[in-house]
Structure 1
Amino acid sequence: MRAYRIAYDGRPFHGFQRQPTVPTVADAVLDALVALDLLADADGPTRPTPPGYAAAGRTDAGVSALAQTVAFDAPDWLSPRALNAHLPDAVRAWAAADVSEGFHATHDATRRAYVYHLPVSDLNADRAREAAVRLSGRHDFHNLTPDDTGTERTLDCTVEAGETLRVRVTAGGFPRQLVRRLVTVIRGVATGASVDWIDRLLSPDPVEGPGGVSPAPPEPLVLAAVDYPGVEFSPDPAAVAAVHETFDRQRRRGLAAARVAETIRDGVDD
C-alpha cells in the first residue's frame, strides 16, 4: 500500500468524489491509473478502483487542495512523478509514503485543516478573530451544516491578517459545508454583525430563514493539511518542481487578471 499527497486547483472540477457525468478529481486520478495499465477502464455509473483505494476527504466543487491524500495498493515504481505524467495540469501528486496493508486514507486521518482566503477590503480583522474564538472548541454545529448526524465537533479556528484574511479551521473531521458556513459567520461578524449571532447559531434551537447561514463560495477554500500519526511522506523532487511550476503559472495568471480589473475600475470616472 502507498499513500500519495495530491495538490489540485479545484475550479475545473465538480468536487473530488467521482460523479458519472461531470469531471472530478477522483476521475482524473483513476484515469491516470488506467493509462498506466494499473486499472481496467470502464464506463457507467460505477468504475473499478484499486484494492484499498480511499481518499482523505471529499472536497466540494471548486475547492482546492494542498494535502489531499489518496491511498491504494500500488507498485513500487509508481512515484508521484510517474503518476503526474498522466494527470491533467490542475492535478499534481507531489509526495508518497509506504503504509500498512490496513491503512485507510479516510478513517486513519486524525486531523484535517482547511484554509479560506477572505478579501480584506471591508473586514475588521479584530472582530473576525473574536468570531473565530467564539466558534472554537466543542459545539453542536447543527445550524451550520445540512447534515442531521455527526454535527457535534471539536475544532480550532484562527484568523491571520495579510493580503487576505486567512481563516484556518482544524478538526478531526467536518460535516458537509461546515467550514464554508463558518467563514460566512466570521465574515458577517467582521462586517458588523453582532457576535451574539454566534451564540444563537450554537444553541440547540434551529435557526432558519433570515437568521440562517449559507455557505461561502468554494473557490477560496483549500484543504491544507491531513495528519496521519506515524506516516512519513517523502516529497518527490521532480514532482515538487512540477507543482511549483504549475501553481506559479496560475498565480501569474491571477495577478494579470487582477491588473485588468484594476485598469477598468480605475479608468471609469464617476
Structure 2
Amino acid sequence: MPRGAFRIAYDGRPFHGFQRQPSVPTVEGALFDALRDLGVLGDEADKPPGYAAAGRTDAGVFGLGQTVAFDAPEWLTPRAYNGQLPATVRAWAHADAPTDFHATHDAASRAYEYHLYAPGADLELARAAVDRLRGTHDFRDLSAVSSGNTTRRLRTATVERDGEFLVLGVRGDGFLHELVRRLVSLVRSVATGVVPVERVDSVLTPGTLPDHEIPPAAPPGGLVFVDAAYPGLAFEPDRRGAESVREVFGERATRATRRGRLCRRIAGGVGED
C-alpha cells in the first residue's frame, strides 16, 4: 500500500492537545477515528501502518500545516478524509510519499506563528528582542525542558504589527516544549517596557536568572503550527478540501467577531456607580 502524507488544519480549542490520549478528545484521536470509520484502520488496530506526525501541539493550539503520513489506499483523498472528520479538523492537501517517509524525522524545519494582542507594545523594541533570539542558542530557560540537549537554531524570527496584534513568526530545525510561547512572553515583556532588551541575553545564558524572572509560557490560544517543510515532497492542494477549510474557519471567524461585538456591548452598557 502506498504511503500518503496529508496536510491538516485544526482548531485546537475543543481538544486536549494533538497527541492521542485515553478518555479525552484529541486531534490525533479524531484522525484515527475517521480512518476507522472509513475502513482504513481496523477496529483492533492501534494506528495506521507507518504512521507519524510532524509534531505535537498543546491544548488550544491551532494547526495549519500539521502533517501526518501513513500507508493509505489511493482513494483516500483529503475530500474523502474530511467526510468522516469533525468540522474542527480538515485535511486540505496530499502528497505521495516514499515508503520510508517519516513525518517526524524527515521534517527539515517547522514554522510557528503567535498572534499576540498587544495594542500598546513598541514594535521596534519587539524587533530588537527578536533579533537577539535569532540563531543558535541554549534555550533551556525558554522551555519546559530541564535536562538533555536544549540547544536549538532559529533559522528565522520576525515580528510585525497587524492592528492591535503583534504577529511573531519563527522557523527552526526543531522546537523544545513551550519554547515558542515562552519566547513570546519574553518579547512581550521587552516590547511593553517591563524588562530591558538586555534581558534576552540573560535568558539565553541558562542559570543566570532567578526562577521568578524566567519567562512563563504565553497562553496557547494565540499559537498556530504553520508549516513543516519536506524538501522533495510536493503537496497538491485538494480543491474541495481547501474550500472546506475556508468555509469552516471563515464561519468560525464570523461567529467570533459577532461574539466579541456583543461582549463589548454588554461591557460598555454597565453603568458605573
If the TM-score is normalised by the length of the shorter chain, which range does it land in?
over 0.9
Query: 2 CA distance for matches of 1:210 and 1:195?
Result: 18
Match of 1:152 in 2: 151
Structural mapping, 1:218-229, within 5 Å: 218-229=220-231
Letter in 1 for 2:166: L
How far is 1:268 from its partner?
3.2
Partner of 2:70: 72
Q: Which segment is superposed worse, 124-133 or 80-89?
A: 124-133
Structure 1 segments of 4+ aligned residues over 3 angstroms from their partners: none
**1:161 maps to which residue?**
161
Q: Look up the SS of the partner of 1:219 in the other structure.
A: helix
Aligned equivalents of 2:47, 2:232: Cα separation in 1: 26
Query: 1:263: Cα distance to partner?
Result: 1.1
| Contact 2:153 2:174 survives alignment (8 Å) | no
CA contact (8 A) 2:114 2:168 kept: yes
1:247 aligns with 2:239: no
Cα deviation for residue 60 of structure 1 reads 0.8
Query: Is there any run of 5+ residues in structure 1 with no aligned partner, and where?
Result: none
1:123 corresponds to which of 115, 121, 124: 121
2:12 match: 10
Q: What is residue 19 of structure 1 aligned with on the other side? A: 21
TM-score, normalisation: structure 1: 0.95
Give the root-mean-square deviation of aligned CA atoms.
1.2
- 1:160 touches 1:167 (CA, 8 Å); kept in 2? yes
Q: Identity, % of aligned pairs?
A: 50
TM-score normalised by the chain length of structure 2 = 0.94
Please name the residue that 1:176 is paired with: 177
Residue 126 of structure 1 deviates from its aligned partner by: 1.2
Q: Following TM superposition, by how much is the alpha carbon of 1:50 offset from its aligned partner in structure 2, in angstroms?
A: 1.0
Aligned residues: 266
Q: 1:188-238 CA deviation, whole Å, 9 max, x = no partner?
A: 101111112111111142534321121000011000111000011001111
Provide the C-alpha distance between the structure 1 equivalents of 2:224 and 2:266, rounded to a whole number of angstroms: 29
Equivalent residue in structure 2 for 1:93, among 91, 94, 109: 91
Query: What SS does the aligned partner of 2:159 have?
Result: strand
Which residue identity does 2:18 align to in structure 1?
Answer: F
CA contact under 8 A between 2:134 and 2:153: conserved in structure 1? yes
Corresponding position of 2:43: 41
Which stretch of structure 1 is more off in the superposition, 130-139 or 87-96? 130-139
